[in-house]
Amino acid sequence: MENRFKEALLNPDAFVVTWELVPGRGAREAAQEKTIALAEQAALAGKINALTLTDNPGGTPAMSANFMGGEILKLGVEPLIHFTCKDKNRNSIESELYALDRAGVRNLLIMSGDYPVSGYQGRPSPVFDLDPVHILQLVTDMNRGISYPGVKGEIRHKPSDFFPGAVVSPFKATEAEQMAQYYKLKKKIEAGAQFIVTQLGYDARKFHEVLLFIKQGGFNIPLVGNIYVLPYGAAKMMNRNALPGSVVTDKLLVELEREQNSQDKGAGARILRAARMYAIMKGMGFAGVHIGGHNLKYEQVEEVIRQGEALVPQWADLVHYFDYPIPGGFYYFERDPETGLNCEKTTARQNTPSDVTVECSYGFSKAV
């Protein structure tokens, strides 16, 4: 069965675009109708390779991403399901995977998910029976044809056809946090992740860092960069760490506040910032971009793509627009002063002597 998202992402000559939709709480409310309407627009235009669907974002209940994925698939566009660990034990996870397989929904972005914070008459209990590495192992086993002991011997199921991906954050402040992320990234790839999506940030050097890390590790896996069309309100929440996995520095917040004084309240600047990120990621050698944003309209997504494509030839000149380091933050690679990105020499880490001299150079090409 054809999987257009998978085919595009594994095609080295293609650059994929996914767009994040939030199904919202309820079944027949405005949020669900809006999600379907936006999906219909995207399917008709044909510029989006997959629509990603969040799973109880912010730790609050919402329409099942799995069910909504089946509805979107009927519209003729591939869904990419945010498949999280936080609300389900291993039996429930396995059951949901069977249902997705039966429905022909194959693209999964496997992650821990936002910690549960509120629900019906109280705070829900988190589960976290399995973590993303375990779920990737389960999905890999299902793709091979999972087996288990039965009364009369081994039972083996027909192979599924999932296309699983995982998430990494290169935007951690300390060495310990960042190296833990990269260690988990290796484990996720070994467990069967077939593509990686970054978490959210605005530091070009950090996006480049994870790209180089994957290259140096010899991992032949597509990397998708996260672009959030950033309004001032959401930026304030991210700046105070109220949205997990999102980094907005004080320097960026000041710029966004200044943009609020423009006639369009910063709307044009938000689209241009996203378009510049699109161009930089395509120029660096990312396999695609994951576009999101609060109440983002399809026309705005299309404008990000249009402006971004026009800026690709000059992507290297745009890097300086994304110089938002975390003060005192850790970088895995040394900075290349010529490009503003990284060279391939790793940072001299504490208690880790380095006796190898490496030239600090980086060629602007998609071969990274």
CATH number for the domain that contains residue 330:
3.20.20.220
For residue 19, being part of any structural domain is answered with yes
For residue 358, being part of any structural domain is answered with no
For residue 152, being part of any structural domain is answered with yes
Tens of pLDDT, residue by residue, the chain (368 residues): 789 999 999 999 999 999 999 999 999 999 999 999 999 999 999 999 999 999 988 888 899 999 999 999 999 999 999 999 999 999 999 999 999 999 999 999 999 988 888 989 999 998 999 999 999 999 999 999 999 999 989 999 999 999 999 999 999 999 999 999 999 999 999 999 999 999 999 999 999 999 999 999 999 999 999 999 999 999 999 999 888 778 999 999 999 999 999 999 999 999 999 999 999 999 999 999 999 999 999 999 999 999 999 999 999 999 999 999 999 999 999 999 999 999 999 998 765 433 334 344 334 333 33
Q: How far apart are CA 171 and CA 205, in angstroms?
A: 10
For residue 367, being part of any structural domain is answered with no
pTM of the model: 0.92
- Both tokens assigned to 242: 């109220």
For residue 353, being part of any structural domain is answered with no
Question: Torsion over CA of 291, 293, 298 and 299, rounded to 10 degrees?
Answer: -100
For residue 251, being part of any structural domain is answered with yes
Q: Which residue range(s) make up the domain with 187?
A: 4-346
For residue 336, being part of any structural domain is answered with yes
For residue 366, being part of any structural domain is answered with no
> CB within 8 A of 289, min separation 6: which ones?
15, 16, 17, 18, 224, 225, 226, 227, 277, 278, 281, 282, 308
Number of domains in the chain: 1
Helix, strand, or coil (residue 351): coil
> CB within 8 A of 47, min separation 6: which ones?
17, 302, 305
